Structure formats: C-alpha cells, structure tokens
Amino acid sequence: MKRVVVLSLVILACFTSCKDDDVSCVSCSNELTQTFTLCREANGDASVNGEDTDTDYDVYLSNLTEQGTSCN
C-alpha cells in the first residue's frame, strides 16, 4: 500500500513527457492514477512523465504490474 501511495505522489508530481529519441515509452494506468508515460531511458532507468526514477526499467515495470497497473 505504501508503494502505491508513493508511486501516486511521484506520478502526480511529474508533468513533462519523454522527448528523447533514445527512449522507448508506454502509457500506463490503474484505478488510482491518471494515465502516465513510462519510458526506458538510454541508461536503462525508468522515467515517469520525463522524470528519472533512478530505478531499472524492468524492475520498475514489474513493480507496477504487480500492483495492478497496465502499460501498453
């Protein structure tokens, strides 16, 4: 539950989008948040709405899906 609250706060605090050609992005959503953009940065980190999370993309995406977030 704490992760969901922290994730929600991070998502709500971010308002820019991924614009770098070296990234691949997907749209994600769940029942608790608005749709947000999740990107794999060139360094392998995940970014949410353009803000680097300092977390490996695959780990971040796995945690999201475990919490019921769908990304496509």
Per-residue pLDDT of the chain (72 residues; tens, 9 = 90+): 556 544 554 454 443 444 446 789 999 999 998 999 999 999 999 999 999 999 999 999 999 999 999 999
Q: How many CA atoms lie within 13 A of 33 on its CB side?
A: 27
pTM metric for this prediction: 0.69
- Residue 18 neighbours by CB under 8 Å, 6+ apart: 25, 37, 39, 47, 49, 50
